Amino acid sequence: MLIHITIVVTGKVQGVGFRYSAKRAALEHTIHGFVKNLDDGSVYIEAEGTQENIDTYIIWCKSGPRYALVKDIAITKGEVKHFTSFDILG
């Protein structure tokens, strides 16, 4: 069963390759959705997958790529949108 979550990651998460690493991690964990930078310096992710894959992806998001410094992540559940890929937006 698919679930949908929204993740907002705060900290030093822009300019450190977070979006590209988030896409790589999503593909490794069979997650579909998208990632984008927000104007406030945070990163916004919509992710869909099985509960197990989402749980593993959330663990990755809590640390991010090598040069990121994740301060906090906020997770919200939502309705499944049936994404078919994982994209990097704006």
Asked whether the predicted pLDDT for residue 17 surpasses 90, the reply is yes
Q: What domains appear along the chain, each with residue ranges and CATH number?
A: 3-79 (3.30.70.100)
24, 37, 53, 66: which is the annotated catalytic residue?
37
Predicted pLDDT at 18: 97
Asked whether the predicted pLDDT for residue 56 surpasses 90, the reply is yes
Beta-bridged to residue 77, according to DSSP, are 5
Respond yes or no: is residue 19 known to be catalytic.
Answer: yes
Using DSSP's 3-state secondary structure scheme, residue 14 falls into coil
Average pLDDT over residues 67-85: 97
Predicted pLDDT at 51: 97
Average pLDDT over residues 64-79: 96
Predicted pLDDT at 90: 77
19, 24, 53, 66: which is the annotated catalytic residue?
19
Angle subtended by helix axes 51-61 and 18-28, to nearest 10: 150
